[in-house]
Each structure stands twice: as structure tokens, then as C-alpha cells.
A = this chain, B = another copy of it.
């Protein structure tokens, strides 16, 4: 944890800035944009500031393969299998920026189905990573809320995987509930190590703070989880950019904690820290 003494005591979580998967996706995008315009199917990562910066370099988002000119960049969250196959048929140049941890998860679900497991995917139903994963299997159920386990039928063999940015606390709560729904249970802890470290670091800072500022895209799943985790400990605000900060939040608050999602650029964090330091009490 780094502490910056301004008018406020600003404590920055130990694990902050781009994760490996996001950094790799951006590097691949920048590298491939040197050869001409590049299209991504949906946003490359879940951070509007960074997406805007990349747009200026000719890396633009399209909504359908039909709109792709030559090269299609697969977003960090991965895409459904059918998209890759269609892009191959269309003979597009495919640049795969799928996070290696997500790629591994896609392979894992395929393997589990082959071994005869009914798949339980713990994650957000509408998140692109989850949509990608579910495309690799036929017999599955997505569970986001613990309550949804009630609707889960009994299966002889159940295999459980987790969206790579899920929360470990949720994992531990879900396991004993799913246990009763089968005779054989296989649990793969597919939450990526970076997510775990980031969540732990955010928690450590939140415990010492009077107010937590979590920085990241409003569409970013891992940022939302950081907000949920910190909210249980202390008053927490989620912002995408410094423009959303409100002076009133900081009145009478001495210790301000900072955490950020895996796709939050350092320059966004820096700007926010500077602005907080300048707020009057």
C-alpha cells in the first residue's frame, strides 16, 4: 500500500493498474494497428477512457463481423466459438487478444463436458467472458446469485467453473450448496490470481479507510466486484474518471482508499489521486 500525504491521507491499494491480460490485449492492439486499421468486436477491454485513446490509433469497435474490413481483434474477454469459426470462414485476419486465463477456462469447460460433467458456470449471465465460455459447452447452467442454485436440477456429475474475475468469497459459499446437487462434484478454481490479489489488496485498504474510491469502467465486471467487496467494509464510490468525483463525498473524511479494476489505465488513476488531494475539507 502506497500512502500519499496531501490535505487527505490517500492510500493506494498494493495491486493496481492493468493486469497481464489487459496489458497484453492493448499491446497486441497497438502492434497490429501499425499495419492498418483494426476492428474489435465489442470493446477490447471494459474501460471507456482507454478505448477512446485506442480509437485515435485506428483501433475501433464494430458490432458485427460484417463490418470488419481486414483484421479482427478478439477482445480480452474472448468471444463465442461460433464467431471465431465464422471469422475463419470469412478469411479475416484474426488477432486473438483473449486473456490467456480466459482461453484456459474455455478449454477447461470443453474438457469437463467431455468427461461427462454437467457444467455450472458461476458468473454474470450477460458478461462477454461468460457468453464466450458457454459457447463451448451444451449442457450448462449459469449461476450468478446463490438463490439460483435452488433451480439447479440433480445431476450425477457436476463440474463447476468460475468467471475469471469472480469473488472467492462467493466461490466458497457456492461450493457446499452445489455439493448436494450431485454424486460427483469437480470444482476448478478458475478465478485468476491477479483478481484474487487485487481483491485482497482492495480489502486491506478499505479496512483502514473512511471512504473508498474504486476506479474502473461501469461495464467492468471485476471493478463491480471490487465495489461490492469494499462496500461491505466502508462507504465506497465507483467512478470511471475524475469528472465524477464530488467534493461533498470527502467532507470530514481523512483516510481515502483507492482501488482500481484490471482495465483501469494508470493515467486515469493518477488524475483522480491528484484531484482528491486538492479537495478542501
Contact = CB atoms under 8 A, between A and B. Distances in A.
Interface in A133-185: 171-172, 175-176, 179-180, 182-185
A7 interface: no
A214 B179 CA distance: 29
A186 B182 CA distance: 12
A172 B182 CA distance: 12
Contacts of A172: 176, 179-180
B187 A184 contact: yes
A188 B179 contact: no
A185 B187 CA distance: 5
A109 to B, nearest CB: 14
A96 interface: no
User: Assembly of this chain: how many copies?
Assistant: 2
Interface residues of A, number: 14
Interface in A9-36: none
A188 B185 CA distance: 7
A81 interface: no
Contact of A175 (B179, B183, B184, B189): B179
A176 B180 CA distance: 12
Contacts of A175: 175-176, 179, 185
B185 A186 contact: yes
A185 B172 CA distance: 12
Contacts of A187: 179, 184-187
Interface in A242-280: none
A186 B186 CA distance: 4
Nearest to A191: B183
A122 to B, nearest CB: 13
A188 B184 CA distance: 5
B189 A183 contact: yes
A184 B104 CA distance: 14
B179 A183 contact: no
A228 B124 CA distance: 42
A118 to B, nearest CB: 14
A179 B189 CA distance: 9
Nearest to A193: B183
Contacts of A188: 183-184
A27 B207 CA distance: 66
Contacts of A179: 171-172, 175, 187
Interface of A: 171-172, 175-176, 179-180, 182-189
Which 4 A/B pairs are nearest by Cβ-Cβ distance? A185-B187, A186-B186, A183-B189, A176-B176
8 contacts: A175-B176, A175-B185, A182-B189, A183-B188, A184-B186, A184-B187, A186-B187, A187-B187
